[in-house]
Chains A and B, each alone.
Chain A
Amino acid sequence: MVTLEPELSETSTVREHVLDNGLRVLMQEVHTAPLATVWCWYRVGSKDERPGLTGVSHWVEHMNFKGSTNIPRDKVKGIIEQYGGYWNGYTWIDQTTYTETATRDALDRMLFIEAERMGSSLFDPADCESERTVIISELQGGENDPDQLLEQELTATAFRLHPYRHPTIGWISDLKTMTRDDLYGHYRRYYVPNNATLVIVGDFASDDVLRAVDSHFGRLESRDVGERLLPVEPDQQGERRVTISKEGTTAYLKIGFHGPSVTDDDFFPMLVLDAALTGAKGINLWASFRTPPPQRSTRLYQALVNSGLASAVNGGVVPTQQPFLYTISITATEGVELARLEQASLQAIDRVRTQGVTPEELQKAKNQLRARLVFENDSITNIAHQLGYFETIASWRRYPAIGRQIADVTLDQVASVASRRLTAANRTIGWFEPVSPR
C-alpha cells in the first residue's frame, strides 16, 4: 500500500525491526517506481547544544559528507549520482538526518554510505577548517534575507531558557571558535546505532533488505549517549518585542506564540486553528512547507492580504519534540506602517481567541488537512521522511493515526486552544523596520 489515506492508514504496512545494537529499522515496500529511498535519522539537533557550541550539530552534518574509512575523500563525489540519485541531509532543532533516493539497484550502496557515516567519518582537520568558512557563508546568505533574520531574533527573544532559542546554524561567535575536537566529540557521542532510526521505502523485498542492513550496521557498537539537559521553558509572563531597524525595502511582522509539542493534546486542535487562520500546510516539513497552502478564504488572508495591508501571510504548526513556537509571518505591502499592520493582525487573532472558529471553518480545515496528507505522501522520499521524522520526535506509530486525530478535533478544543495560547502574555512580536540608505 502506498498512500496513507487517513481511513486506511492505521493498517499501514510498515515493518519494524530493532537490531541487537539498538538500531531501529523501519521498512515499507512501495512498488510503483523502480526506486528506493533511505533516510538515516539521529536524535540530535540544536536543542542538544550548549552556548559555546551552538551550530555543532549542523557543522557535523556537513562533515559527514567528507569521506569515511572506506569512502576516501575523492570518492565521495558521484557515489550516488552515478545511480541518477539524489542525496542530502538536514539539521534542525530535534534532529539530524541524511537521505538518498536513487534507482533500486543503488540500495545496497545507500546502506553502505549510511553505515560508514554512522561509524567512521573522517573529520579531517583541514576539511573541518575549510568547512568553517562555508558554514559562515551559509549564515551570511541567510542574513541577506530580512525575513530569516527576523525569524532568528524572534525565536531567541521568545525563549529565555530552552535551547530551542539557538539558531540551528549557530551563533557566529561559536562558529568562529569551535574546534575539530568539539565537532568530533559531538559526532562520537550521538552517532551511535541506539540513537538512530533507519527508514527504507521503495521497490524491494523487505527480507533481503533486512539482511543487508544487518551486514552493514550489525558490527556497529551501541553506546550510551549520556544525560541530556533539557530545561523546561518557564511560562512567559508578558508580551515580548524585538525590533530590527536596518537598511532594506520591505517591512516584516512576526507574531510568535508558545505552541504545543507533538504529544500535547493541544497539537491537533492547533493544527486546525492554524488552518482557519492561514490555511493548512500539512505536516511534512520536507515536502509541504515549500508551496503556499490553500488560504485565500482564511481569516488572516482576508483581514490582511485582501484588505491590502499585507502582500503575504503565513503560519506554521510544526511537530516538535518539545513545545516550540507557532509563528505567523506577515509581509507588509509597500507603504503600510507596521503599527497599522500589527493592529489589524492582533484584531483578527483576538477575534478567534475570544470566539473560536465556526463549524464551517472546522470542516474546511479538516478537508484541507485530509487532502494535504494524501498530497504529501506522493513519493517514497516523502513517505520515508514522515516515518523517520515522527520516530525521532516521538514515535513513528503516531504517524498513521494522524488522519483520525484530525477528524476527531472538536469546536470546543479549537476554542480552548485559541483562548489559552493566543494571548498577549504568550506572544512575542517582531518587527523588521526598513530604513532608507543614508
Chain B
Amino acid sequence: MTPPRSGPLEAGLETRGLSPTRDVLANGVTILTKQTRTTPAVTLHASLGAGSTSDPSALAGVAHFMSRTVDRGTSRHSADQIAEELDSRGVSLFVSVGRHALSLVSTCLVEDFDIVLLLMADIITSPTFPPEEVDRRRGEIVTLIRQDEDSPAAVATDALMAMLYGDTHPYGRPIRGTVATAEQIDCEVLQRFHREHVSPGALTMAIVGDIEPGRARDAATAALGRWSAPRIDTTAWPPVPTASARRTRTIPMMNKSQTDIAYGFTAISRSDPDFYAYSLMNNILGQYSIGGRLGESIRERQGMAYYVTSSLDANVAAGPLLIRAGVNPSNVERAVQSIDRELASLRGDGPTEQEVAESKQYLIGSLPRALETNAGIASFLQTIERFELGLDYDVRMPGLVQQVTRDEVHAAARRAIDPSKATVVVAGPYDGPLT
C-alpha cells in the first residue's frame, strides 16, 4: 500500500516531454504537430473559436446548428461527395461544439492523410450550408432537443446552468438552443455566423500521428495557407454572477424511474491563479477513486446512488463546479443533505494531508495515460493552445500541482463550495420538498 518511490513522470516523459511543434502561418492559422509511431494512423483535430458563447443572444443554438451542417456541402464538394470520400476510407469526422470552440476531429490511416486534410480544410473554409441539408438537419436537432427534454439528467443540468448564469451570461444558455430557435435558424443565419466567427486567426489545427512534423506542416500550409477572411473581434461577456443565497428548484418528471440531482456553483476561469488548488479540491471532493468524498459517503457507505461525482469546468470565463448524482426518489432529501454535509466538512476542516498527497499523485500520474493515444495528445495540444499554457506544459504541470499546499486547497474549498449559497435542481419522479 505504499506510494510509488519515483513519480511516473520521472520514469516516463523525461525532461523533454512531448515537445510538439507550433507554427503560425502568415494568415494567422496555428499548426501544432507531434509525431508518434504507435499506429499507422493520424489524428487531425481542428478547433475554431466559434462555440455557443458566440451565438447571437436572441438565437441560442447557432454554433450547434453549424456543427451539424458545416460538413454537409462546400463550394467544391456536395454532402454526398464528402460522405463518400470519408466513408470509403473508414474515416469518421466528429464535429462537436462547446462553449468556446467548434471542433472537427478525424482519425485516418497515414496513407489517407493528405486527402482527409484537404477535405477538412475545405469544410472549415468554404461550407455552403445548402438549404435542403439545413432543413433535414433541423429535424435531427429538434429530435435531439426533445430527447434532452425527456432526460432527467439533461433537464437538471440545463436548469442548473440557467439558474447559475442567468439570462445575461452566455453560459446560461443551452448549447443546443431550443425547438423555437432551431426553427428560426436557416442557411443565411449559418452563413452569416460562419462569416463573422470563422477566420484563419480563429483556427488551430493539431496533427498527431505517424507523420514527420515538417511534412505535416507543409501539407497544412498548402491546405490552409492561402485562406483569407476578415479578422474577428473578440466578444466581451458580462461578469459571471455569484449566488448570494441558496436556491432550489424541483422539476417533476413522474414517468421516470430515477431522480437526477444537479448541485453547483459558479467557480473560476482557467487563468485563475487558484486553478490547481481548485482542481485538487474538486478531485478530493468528487472524483478520486469512486467519486471522492461524495462517492465514499453517498455510494459506498449509504448505497444511495450508482453515480455521484463532481466536475470543475475552469474555462475562458468562470465555469461551474457541478455535483451530479442519480438517486431513487425516496432518497432525494437524504442525498442532498449528504452533499451539504460533505461540502461543509471540506470547508470546515479542509482536506487531510494524505488526501492532498493522493490527489496530487493522481493528477500528475494520469498524464501519461492521457497522452497515450493520438486523439489524447491532439486534445491536450488544443487545451495548451486555448489557455496559452506553453509547449512544455506537460513537463511543467507536475511542478505546478506539487507546489499547492493543503492550506491553499482548504482556502479553495472555503471560497467555492458554501452549501448556503448552492444552487440545487432535482429532476425526475419527485415532487416533494427541497431545502
Contact = CB atoms under 8 A, between A and B. Distances in A.
B253 to A, nearest CB: 8
Given A82-B358, A137-B327, A377-B39, A144 B368 contact: no
A136 B328 contact: yes
A3 B146 contact: no
B214 interface: no
A154 B368 CA distance: 42
Contact of B84 (A130, A247, A297): A297
B368 A35 contact: yes
Interface in B327-375: 327-328, 358, 361-369, 371-375
Interface stretch (A101-109, A348-356, A409-417): A101-109
Contacts of A141: 257-258, 306-307, 326
Given A134-B306, A137-B258, A311-B140, A371 B87 contact: no
Contact of B372 (A33, A77, A137, A249): A33
B387 interface: no
Given A102-B365, A333-B139, A368-B87, A144 B372 contact: no
A2 B290 CA distance: 31
Contacts of B83: 296-297
A69 interface: no
B257 A34 contact: no
A139 B328 CA distance: 10
Nearest to B327: A137
Contact of B364 (A5, A84, A249): A84
Contacts of A395: none
A75 interface: yes
A134 B305 contact: yes
A308 interface: yes
Given A86-B369, A133-B304, A292 B147 contact: no
A246 B8 CA distance: 52
A374 B109 contact: yes
A2 B289 CA distance: 30
B218 interface: no
Contact of B40 (A3, A250, A333): A3
A276 to B, nearest CB: 11
B338 to A, nearest CB: 14
A250 B147 contact: yes
A34 B12 CA distance: 5
Interface stretch (B88-96, B194-202, B271-279, B311-319): B88-96
Nearest to B355: A78
Q: Which of B136, B147, B367 has the most CB of A within 10 A?
A: B147
Nearest to A135: B306
Contacts of A86: 366, 369
Given A250-B147, A291-B94, A364-B88, A83 B365 contact: yes
B120 to A, nearest CB: 14
Contact of A77 (B144, B256, B296): B296
A251 to B, nearest CB: 9
A103 B147 contact: no
B303 interface: yes
Given A78-B288, A292-B92, A368-B87, A144 B108 contact: no
Interface residues of B, number: 82
Contacts of B136: 306, 308
Given A105-B6, A248-B255, A378 B288 contact: no
Q: Which of B11, B79, B374 has the most CB of A within 10 A?
A: B11
Nearest to A312: B140
A378 B139 contact: no
A153 to B, nearest CB: 14
Contacts of A270: none
B302 interface: yes
Interface stretch (B26-34, B148-156, B236-244): B148-156
Nearest to B328: A137
Contacts of A138: 306
A380 interface: yes
A10 interface: no
Q: Which of A143, A306, A374 has the most CB of B within 10 A?
A: A374
Contacts of B361: 81-84
Given A102-B365, A249-B150, A370-B90, A378 B38 contact: yes
A32 B150 contact: no
B289 to A, nearest CB: 4
B365 A82 contact: yes
Interface string A68-101: 0000000111110111111000000000000001
Contacts of B87: 279, 294-298, 364, 368
B368 A84 contact: yes
A214 interface: no
A292 B257 contact: no
Contact of A134 (B12, B147, B299): B299
B118 interface: no
B396 interface: no
A78 B358 contact: yes
Nearest to B325: A137
Contacts of B1: 75, 79
Contacts of B327: 137
7 contacts: A33-B12, A82-B3, A144-B152, A248-B150, A331-B143, A334-B139, A375-B90
Given A33-B372, A135-B306, 19 more contacts: A2-B37, A34-B8, A82-B358, A85-B369, A103-B4, A133-B328, A134-B303, A134-B306, A138-B306, A140-B258, A250-B147, A297-B80, A297-B87, A311-B144, A312-B140, A368-B87, A368-B88, A368-B90, A371-B109
Interface of A: 2-3, 5, 32-35, 65, 75-79, 81-86, 101-106, 129-141, 143-146, 246-250, 279-280, 291-298, 305-306, 308, 311-312, 331-335, 364, 367-372, 374-375, 377-380, 434, 437
Query: Which 6 A-B residue pairings sit nearest by Cβ, starting from the closest?
Result: A84-B365, A371-B90, A34-B12, A247-B255, A296-B83, A130-B303
